Structure 1
Amino acid sequence: MQIDKEIQPHSVKEIIQAIQSTTGPISIGGGRYSMGGQIGYENSLHIDMRQFNKVLNIDLQKKQVTVQPGIVWRDLQKKIDPYNLSIKIMQTYANFTVGGSISVNCHGRYIGHGPIISSVIQLKIITASGKIITANRKANTDVFNAVIGGYGGIGVIVEATLQLEDNVKVERQTKLVKVENYNDFFDKNIRNNKNVVFQNGDLYPPNYDVINNVSWVKTNKELTDTTRVTPENQNYWLEPKLIQIISWGNFGKWMRRKIVDPIIYSKEKVVWRNKEASYDVFELEPASREEQTYVLQEYFIPVKNIQSFIPKMKTIFNKYNVNIINVSLRHAYPDKESYLSWAKEEVFAFVIYYKQGTDASSKNIVKKWTIEMTNAILSENGSWYLPYQPHASIKQFNQGFPNSNKYFEIKNKLDSLNRFNNKLLDKYNPDNQKTIEKERENIKGYFRDEEQTVLTVPEWYLVFNPKEYADYLEKGNNPSDFPFYASIDEYWKLYDRSIKLVSDAYPENKEYTTMLKVIGISVTMEYTAKILYENTIGRIFSWFANDTISDDEKTIIAAQRAYSDFIYNTAWYEFKFLPWIKKVWNTSDTTKSSFLRKTERKLFFTFEFAFKAGYAQLIEWAAKNSYETPVTNIYLLADTKEKIQPTADIKILKEQKNKKLLSIPRWGSFTTNLLKLCHKDIEILEIGGNDEIVVSILSNESQNNNFENTKLLYKSNVVTNRKIKRLVYLVPVKQLLTFLKQAKSRKTEVEHIFDY
């Protein structure tokens, strides 16, 4: 996902200015620990709130604190700890921002409480119009209930007032409880015990029959650890190792239950409440997430239904062989305020920590069992937590969050243009189901990875270079003089520049970069062979040419032209090489050309095209067995009042007011058709879901090559004409047609638009 622009505001004024000076979507981010696109949206203005992080006021009498939302819990704990105050409700880990926690309506291990909404006194938000609204339980209550747990869809939180508690010493107490006895144990020992501050129960996989209840109870005992707040940047080497051991299948889980946990919990532990509430997520961080990673899900099950839910959960985990590390049970009272409440009644939260592969197949399996698990949750009148991967269907979401219609009513009232958006809200907003933007998701291959527009530059050079070769031969030049070495050098320069550009701005694309290396090595070997041949045998036989080109050689040149034209719109390995060999040998020569020269040319051409024919068969077979059928169209979302006349190439898939969803063939045809559209009054909003695209032009140094709102990425050599340069620009999609129009007016050749 690529945003359009990012800001890190330090003041309310900066946020208002950013909102009012733009018209597109806005996304908001804090600690960035959500994992399903909850803080991002394509081509959005992204407001990174982490520098908006001041403590504005501490009211010691009321035990309340007012903060800017970008502050992380640990920093707030450091500010209030000297006053012996503590956060009332927050997550176990202290790396999250206050604003992010409010936006997901977080909860923790706190007994006697529900979600964080019950500890929020008042909020100030900035709406899509730039207006500041104060919301609490007496004023703008509907906004208050929509913002908390609203995932940034209502506006930007700029101020939050929270209720605090006293910081006290707490002692750890543990007890193993059978699942069937857990409700009774909890009711008798935990639920109404005002001395219990934190509590959770670890449900041991893979049997899910025993819960290790861990309570932290107020005490006057001596501290076993005098740390007030967990410091940052500690070296967590043991915790990740233990998690790795537990992930060793059932044996690792047996070790945890029988050996690791008994050792850990055998020691007496008395700490400050703030210490126990300030864990660091880095203790969970694996050495690498390249092939496998650890992920969270969370289910909220009514307390009376956990006995019937656990067997259903176990069945699904076993069916898909899910590598569950831990299931933590945490209690929460109902939340009757937040419109996206996950606690419609008193619940136990099942916090699922599991290990999965990062490849596409593993992700697909997770999606399958998550959808099944969601049905199991709904069968128990439960719900699930939304900061994680949004696999649930729209129907499941509406059933799990029945008040979501109230949330979207408030959103549409304050943000009628749906500017505050992210991947989560985009999926479940009912109004989005009717929009032309939503239609994109139904089109296979609509969304393209933006880095591809840069990475395709070296690949397309292997289209431009054969064209140069055909042009060179048609001008009557000696093929032995073609700059093959310069062509090799130019490819690898383009490769290096492109890889550097994408590595600075995008995730690694191993599959495509490997392909570029393979084709680069292939063309290097081919051209090296030609260099050796043309500068020895080829050059010797050229001495016999007598400046005459035979009809056979003209057919060879026609074959090179046919090949260079073909690969502008079709994969090279689909070219029919063998018929051209036959055509060359069947050509009747009417010229007085050298027999030796034309025979040498025919033999060399025969070897070249025969080899390519065989190699093409291998590549075609590999491509068809390794990759899906390629998408042959590229899709555009455009805004225009003009009527666009559909053609054989340009198709209108959907229209909504001035917006049009267009389909145009990819490769060379894409450039040709956009050049036809550039004189119309059209604004392209996105191409393939992206807001930037790479374009190359051919120009001499005397021409005006300065284009507004573009970035010149690099210059490239046209190896057969050093006076001409290939200029490669990164162009905002909205400015693309203006760029093309300007280039044409300056008599500059637009070589190619690199369509991802």
Structure 2
Amino acid sequence: MKKNFRLIQLLFTYFIKIIKFIFSRIRKLFRLINSKKILAIPFYSAIAFVLYIFLLIQFSGDSKFNTTIDNKTLNDITQINPIQVNKIIKPKTINEIIYAIKTTIGPISIGGGKYSMGGQTAFENSLHIDMRSFNKIINIDKAKKQITVQAGIRWRDIQKEIDPLDLSIKIMQTYSNFTVGGAISVNCHGRYIGHGPVISSVLEIKIVTATGAVIIANRKVNTAVFDAVIGGYGGIGVIAEATLQLDDNVKVERHNQEMDIAGYKTYFDKNIRNNKDVVFQNGDLYPPDYDKIRSISWTKTTKPVTDEERLLSEDENYWLELKLSKIVSWGNSGKWIRKKIIDPLVYYPEIVRWRNKEASYNVQELEPSSRIEETYVLQEYFIPVENIKSFVPKMKTIFQKHNVNVINVSLRHALPDNESYLSWANKEVFAFVIYYKQKTNQEAKDNVKKWTLEMTDAILSENGTWYLPYQPHATIEQFQKGYPNSTKYFQLKNKLDHNQRFTNKLLNKYNPYAKNKLSQEKNKIKEYFRAEEQTILTVPEWYLVFNPKEYADYLESGRDPSDFPFYKSIDEYWKLYDRSITLTSKAYPENSEYKTMLQVIGVSMTMEYGAKIIYENTIGRFFSLFSEEKISHEEEIIIEAQRAYSNFIYQTAWYEFKFLPCIKKVWTTSEKSNCSALRKWERTLIFTFEFSFKAFYSQLIQWAANSTYETPANSIYLIVSNVGSVKENKNLKIIKKYGDKMIIAITRWEAFTTEIIKLSNQDVKIYEISGNDEIAVSAIMNNSQKINSKNIKLLYKSRIVTNDNLKRNIYFLPVDKLLPFIKDAVNKNATVEHIYDY
């Protein structure tokens, strides 16, 4: 304790010494500056200017703006697979599902609880059907022990209804949070002995196909559809309803025994496999040595319950379980603590409880406090029962080679499933459920992919397969070998869903009928995809193009440059900045790099305009007294230079403009007129100073840009329809055609707006722009004009600082509405100012 106190005391002493040293140096600096007036004046002037700029920024902007764009980014429980969809609907009736399918033409993804972990429930720019509100119980037949439910219902909600009837779910996952539709779509299993996947307990399903048709499927009617939908990952249609076989709720007693993994199969065959009294069983294989396994089984009993609860409380506090999980995740020491201390204590007491309680676990007991830097993920391997002895060493070698932080390996037995087209158990298997911890950065993701591919080869070498609800890392060749009936599955899918509308990240990777589609071609284009939030974040950046145009217009109108509203311009930039940042704050991941860039250029603009405010309201204002109705030739050239600059930056980076030739042209002009010489020379000198500084600054920026950044992409890529209407020109190129659709490339910036306006006069439809389904557009109109269209969102209005009668409206709209919107705006005499091309 004394050593710790002395260390703290020493650190505090050094901290005080450092502070004193810094203040002493600052004091000396001020003394030096104050002793020499030649240094004091510029020094304090610089400080005053910095403070002035700080205040200009502080009193500008729109800090009260609180509108945000709806978040359409979906993620799964791991939080490492964000996918932005086009639209999310939460149907409550089957007619809503049918209507959504019939009134859209793009991809459709289907999701429930989002416990699949690799994009199996979402797809970019899809219509996402969130089934969790479609959750009613339709019928319970107690005599037949059957239940019919809507697919969005959770197992737990069924348990609450059937427990008073002394009924229990026959087959489900260990945890009760999952939806029935999700469980059926992955053909789930649990710890149930004497059963295979959930398909064996499904009696009938009702699905909605890609045409909006409703199909009933069972083992007698539409059998192929039944076999494809169950375990089909939402590729055939929307599972709307399911009829399930139930079982009796009975009392179960817990037993456990630790043993060598070498003797596990013998023990299982003798004590578990054919024991009709065993309801649940799993074996926990202990990492990192994988040589010991603990069998935990629950058998039917007539003993009185030691636990009176019928179901686990949904308000259960899992703080202890989470603390213990964290300990286990520490490393090998944590694994040892679990094996030697935690598990012996957990499994020591005798427990007799109701089957329904043991089947009502909540995934909250696994949920960490944060998944930002680290997350917990599952994988699952299905190994033929006779091959587990040879597989375990291979698994151990791969985990140790890649330092995989395995928390638990749970072995569950499953009987064969010869019905589902994507069956993961064509023979009797042990399922190895791997629960591991990984970091969320890209390096960690890449490492997981690397060892998963190695593990997949090891699985295939044992004639096994792996479970598809987890990361879709397996190659196409591995997938086809592990799931040989996938050909039948995709053939049926193509028959019922010829346009491949029902899709997700998993299906899109392995579906051979998607490979020849135009959407696959875009993946070959290096610069095809651009972040959607950029369309909004570029608005303030483009204001630094619009405002110089306003300034050039203002000068050409003959108005005094000293009267230009420089502060309004500063204020407007920071308003656009605040609004853009707020709008994108919830819907998209933070784009810190672009945000910093906007701050830098905003400060630069504020410094330039702040200096002009001071100059134009002092010296400029004084010399304006000498101005005359007719301006000098030098001033005309200055106005031409401002116009040339404003036109140039619409299509090219500002720092590439040639400032020095403009200065030379002003100074080399010869004019003998009666214009005010004082005003002429004052304007010439201040213009020379401004463009000389910009020439110097632009060289620095150009040098930094060339040495730091890659050459920016010069094209924006679109998927459009009606190939006959689109003609190539220098700013529009056709990249690839497929049927009535094609990918085109349009030159960015001003050219993009010009070409899109041309397309609005043709019979063309846009499906996608740079992988995005929404885009921002600004239109200039007077205060009485309005554009009211469905799905067109007015984000905010921006000022035209030199004309109070006009406004700049910033709209956010689906890309398929872009061309009709432009046509409507033109018909209403509005000016489509810019389309913000990400």
TM-score range, shorter chain: over 0.9
Instruction: Measure, in 2, the Cα distance between the counterparts of 1:31 and 1:411.
Output: 24
TM-score for the superposition, normalised by structure 2: 0.84
Instruction: Measure, in 2, the Cα distance between the counterparts of 1:252 and 1:111.
Output: 31
Q: Which residue of 2 aligns with 1:49?
A: 131
Instruction: Measure, in 2, the Cα distance between the counterparts of 1:551 and 1:266.
Output: 98
Given the alignment of the two structures, is residue 369 of structure 1 paired with residue 369 of structure 2, yes or no? no
Instruction: Give yes or no for contact 1:58–1:65 (8 Å, CA) kept in 2.
Output: yes
Instruction: Measure, in 1, the Cα distance between the counterparts of 2:389 and 2:645.
Output: 69
Q: Please list the CA deviations of residues 179-210 of structure 1 after superposition, one character each: whole Å capped at 9, or x if unmatched.
A: 33322232223222222222222222233232
Given the alignment of the two structures, is residue 173 of structure 1 paired with residue 255 of structure 2, yes or no? yes
SS at match of 1:128: coil
Q: Which residue of 2 aligns with 1:257?
A: 339
Instruction: Measure, in 2, the Cα distance between the counterparts of 1:168 and 1:645.
Output: 72
Q: Which residue, out of 737, 741, 756, partners 2:819? A: 737
Instruction: Measure, in 1, the Cα distance between the counterparts of 2:406 and 2:347.
Output: 21
SS at match of 2:811: strand
Q: Which residue of 2 aligns with 1:668?
A: 750
Bigger Rg, which one: 2
SS at match of 2:530: coil
The Cα of 1:247 is off from its aligned counterpart by 2.4
Q: Which residue of 1 aligns with 2:512?
A: 430
Instruction: Measure, in 1, the Cα distance between the counterparts of 2:312 and 2:123.
Output: 34
Q: Please list the CA deviations of residues 446-492 of structure 1 after superposition, one character each: whole Å capped at 9, or x if unmatched.
A: 23333332222222222222332333344454444332221221122
Q: Please list the CA deviations of residues 417-447 of structure 1 after superposition, one character each: whole Å capped at 9, or x if unmatched.
A: 3232222222221111111122122222323
Deviates more, 1:446-455 or 1:134-143: 446-455
The root-mean-square deviation of aligned C-alpha atoms, in Å, is 2.7
Q: Which residue of 2 aligns with 1:492?
A: 574
The Cα of 1:547 is off from its aligned counterpart by 6.9
Q: Which residue, out of 306, 328, 350, partners 2:388? A: 306
SS at match of 1:434: coil
The Cα of 1:89 is off from its aligned counterpart by 0.9
2:173 is matched by which residue type in structure 1?
Q
The Cα of 1:103 is off from its aligned counterpart by 0.6
Q: Which residue of 1 aligns with 2:497?
A: 415
What are the equivalent positions in structure 2 for 1:40-439 lying under 5 Å apart? 40-439=122-521
Q: Please list the CA deviations of residues 588-630 of structure 1 after superposition, one character each: whole Å capped at 9, or x if unmatched.
A: 45466434553344234423442343355345544x2xxx654
- Taking a change above 3 Å as real, the CA distance of residues 596 and 744 of structure 1, as seen in their structure-2 partners, is closer
Instruction: Give yes or no for contact 1:542–1:597 (8 Å, CA) kept in 2.
Output: no
1:194 is matched by which residue type in structure 2?
K
2:697 is matched by which residue type in structure 1?
F
Instruction: Measure, in 2, the Cα distance between the counterparts of 1:122 and 1:568.
Output: 61
The Cα of 1:752 is off from its aligned counterpart by 0.7
Instruction: Measure, in 1, the Cα distance between the counterparts of 2:617 and 2:136.
Output: 72
Deviates more, 1:686-695 or 1:124-133: 124-133
Q: Which residue, out of 675, 696, 701, partners 1:610? A: 696
What are the equivalent positions in structure 2 for 1:596-745 lying under 5 Å apart? 596-618=682-704, 620-622=706-708, 624=709, 630-640=712-722, 642-703=724-785, 705-707=787-789, 709-745=791-827
Instruction: Give yes or no for contact 1:25–1:418 (8 Å, CA) kept in 2.
Output: yes
Deviates more, 1:359-368 or 1:343-352: 359-368
Deviates more, 1:86-95 or 1:301-310: 301-310
Instruction: Measure, in 2, the Cα distance between the counterparts of 1:565 and 1:224.
Output: 82
- Taking a change above 3 Å as real, the CA distance of residues 591 and 175 of structure 1, as seen in their structure-2 partners, is farther
- Percent identical among aligned pairs is 63
Instruction: Measure, in 2, the Cα distance between the counterparts of 1:171 and 1:407.
Output: 41
The Cα of 1:296 is off from its aligned counterpart by 1.6
Given the alignment of the two structures, is residue 445 of structure 1 paired with residue 527 of structure 2, yes or no? yes
- Taking a change above 3 Å as real, the CA distance of residues 630 and 309 of structure 1, as seen in their structure-2 partners, is farther
Q: Please list the CA deviations of residues 555-574 of structure 1 after superposition, one character each: whole Å capped at 9, or x if unmatched.
A: 6555544443343334445x
Q: Which residue, out of 539, 556, 562, partners 1:457? A: 539
Q: Please list the CA deviations of residues 151-191 of structure 1 after superposition, one character each: whole Å capped at 9, or x if unmatched.
A: 11212222211111221222222222223332223222322
- Taking a change above 3 Å as real, the CA distance of residues 429 and 597 of structure 1, as seen in their structure-2 partners, is closer
The Cα of 1:342 is off from its aligned counterpart by 1.0
Instruction: Measure, in 2, the Cα distance between the counterparts of 1:471 and 1:76.
Output: 69
Deviates more, 1:665-674 or 1:22-31: 22-31
1:610 is matched by which residue type in structure 2?
F
The Cα of 1:136 is off from its aligned counterpart by 1.5
Instruction: Measure, in 1, the Cα distance between the counterparts of 2:434 and 2:630.
Output: 79
The Cα of 1:312 is off from its aligned counterpart by 2.7
The Cα of 1:73 is off from its aligned counterpart by 0.3
- Taking a change above 3 Å as real, the CA distance of residues 603 and 552 of structure 1, as seen in their structure-2 partners, is farther
The Cα of 1:656 is off from its aligned counterpart by 1.5
Instruction: Measure, in 2, the Cα distance between the counterparts of 1:695 and 1:596.
Output: 40
- Taking a change above 3 Å as real, the CA distance of residues 497 and 136 of structure 1, as seen in their structure-2 partners, is same
Instruction: Measure, in 2, the Cα distance between the counterparts of 1:571 and 1:201.
Output: 64
Segments of structure 1 that go 5 or more residues without pairing to the other structure are none
Instruction: Measure, in 1, the Cα distance between the counterparts of 2:420 and 2:120.
Output: 18
The Cα of 1:549 is off from its aligned counterpart by 5.8
Deviates more, 1:411-420 or 1:601-610: 601-610
Q: Which residue of 1 aligns with 2:563?
A: 481
Instruction: Give yes or no for contact 1:639–1:659 (8 Å, CA) kept in 2.
Output: yes
Instruction: Measure, in 2, the Cα distance between the counterparts of 1:730 and 1:740.
Output: 13
Deviates more, 1:555-564 or 1:112-121: 555-564
The Cα of 1:545 is off from its aligned counterpart by 5.9
The Cα of 1:643 is off from its aligned counterpart by 4.2
- Taking a change above 3 Å as real, the CA distance of residues 354 and 586 of structure 1, as seen in their structure-2 partners, is farther
- Taking a change above 3 Å as real, the CA distance of residues 695 and 578 of structure 1, as seen in their structure-2 partners, is closer
Deviates more, 1:152-161 or 1:181-190: 181-190
Deviates more, 1:209-218 or 1:498-507: 498-507
Segments of structure 2 that go 5 or more residues without pairing to the other structure are 1-82
2:494 is matched by which residue type in structure 1?
N
- Taking a change above 3 Å as real, the CA distance of residues 555 and 199 of structure 1, as seen in their structure-2 partners, is farther
Given the alignment of the two structures, is residue 472 of structure 1 paired with residue 554 of structure 2, yes or no? yes
Instruction: Give yes or no for contact 2:380–2:467 (8 Å, CA) kept in 1.
Output: yes
1:355 is matched by which residue type in structure 2?
K
Instruction: Measure, in 2, the Cα distance between the counterparts of 1:527 and 1:289.
Output: 45
Instruction: Give yes or no for contact 1:488–1:524 (8 Å, CA) kept in 2.
Output: yes
Instruction: Measure, in 2, the Cα distance between the counterparts of 1:49 and 1:72.
Output: 10
Instruction: Measure, in 1, the Cα distance between the counterparts of 2:653 and 2:397.
Output: 48
SS at match of 2:389: helix
Instruction: Give yes or no for contact 1:27–1:47 (8 Å, CA) kept in 2.
Output: yes
Instruction: Measure, in 2, the Cα distance between the counterparts of 1:315 and 1:91.
Output: 29
Instruction: Give yes or no for contact 1:550–1:591 (8 Å, CA) kept in 2.
Output: no
